[in-house]
Structures are given as structure tokens and as C-alpha cells.
Amino acid sequence: MKYRSAFDIIGPVMIGPSSSHTAGAARIGRVARTLFGKLPKKAIISLYGSFAKTYKGHGTDFAIVAGLLDLDTFDERMPKSLEIAKENGLEVVFRTEEAVTDHPNTVKINLYDEENKLEMVGISIGGGTIEITELNSFPLKLSGEHPAILVVHQDRFGIISAVTSVLSKHEINIGHMEVSRLEKGEMALMVIEVDQKIEDIVIKELKNLSNVSQIIRMAE
């Protein structure tokens, strides 16, 4: 793991006690909230490895829920997030899992409301840095540190070129991009991290492309 600056080691400004177990966990929860698009009605939070063993003592439980409530890592309301969630109608269920994962600080978050559901897997790497490794069974690599779009589309010839052409037209530079699919010719997911804010007009053009079924925008 290479750190870009001392701040990656020290970690972000946060409510403690741990950058990995608290700040990182909060950021994972907040990414899940962003991808879901609103406050869910129910969250099932499955914890693995070190997260499962120490989640109460290190504040991982209230941190993830704080993220689901869209609270930042330095928000003083973080320790009371479980109470706030209940007040706002969010049912939270925690599960500790014994399965061995690739990273010790791993969490799977399942979110639900009357019409929608989402499953996301994230890991807390250290210093508040995170990585989203799975979304609705699609493998991916998403840091949450840069503006990004997730393009859900049919696996068809020319779709990648069509999406990148729209970004090029608007002079949007791609920092990281990957595509995953569950089966050939079926649904696929394109993850694109960029260097600047993505305006509404770009999202509209992308949504109008053939074989694109959903665009999820993530702001920095």
C-alpha cells in the first residue's frame, strides 16, 4: 500500500477512535448511501474479520450507520447515529460472519426500501482510505475519492466507445475505468473515475445512449 501524503497515514479529521474502523467504516456507509440514492428503510450490515471482532469497541457500528445517514467523518452526531437512524425510520441489523475474506476490514451492506435494494461490499484499507469491491454481485474497484459514474448497461458491441465519446466531447478526463459483466451479452457495469465534476448535461446524454439502463453519479 503506497500513501500519497502524510494525511493518508494520519487519517482524516474524524470522530474516533480508529481511522480504519471508524472513519473508513463511515466512508463505506456513505458510499452505500450515495449508490442507493436516499435513506433506506432497512440495512443489514454483515461484518467480517477484524470488523466482526471489534466493531462495537472501535465504533464501526455507529460509523457505518452514520455514513448511511450521510454524516461526514467529523460530524459530532456520529456516536449517536444508531439513535438517529431509529428516529428516522431506518431499521439496522448487524451480523458477524466467520467466512475468511481477502481483507480483514470487510463489510457487506444490504439496503432496502419498498421498491429498491442494493448489495455492496467494501473494505477499509487504513488511514480512512476505502475501496468498494463489489456492487450487486458485480466485481469492481471504486475508491470514492474522485468524481465517478457507474454505468449499468447491456453487454453490447460499441457501448464502451459510445460512453467514452460523450466524456471526450465534454473534455472530461478519465482517471480510472473498468468494466465487469456477469455473463456474455447480459447486464454489465462500467465504473469510471474522472478528474472533474460531471455536469447534468453529461449524465443526460449518457442516459440517452442505446443499451444504457442506469447511470449512478458519485460526487467527490
pLDDT tens, residue by residue, 33-63: 988 989 999 999 999 988 888 877 778 999 9
**Dihedral of CA 27/179/197/43: which sign?**
negative
Stretches where the chain sits below pLDDT 50 are: 1-14, 17
For position 125, what pLDDT does the model report? 86
Beta-carbon contacts of residue 83 (< 8 Å; ≥ 6 apart): none
Full strand arrangement of the beta sheet holding 174-181 = 174-181, 187-194, 148-154, 212-218
- Prediction pTM value: 0.79
Which amino acid does the sequence have at 32?
Answer: A
φ/ψ (deg, to 5) at 201:
-65, -35
Query: What is each CA distance from 43 to 38, 53, 92, 102, in whole angstroms?
Result: 12, 20, 5, 23
Count of beta carbons in the 10 Å neighbourhood of residue 56? 10
What domains can be seen in the chain, in order of their start residue? 6-136 (3.30.1330.90), 148-218 (3.30.70.260)
For position 8, what pLDDT does the model report? 36
Tens of pLDDT, residues 184-197: 989 999 999 999 98
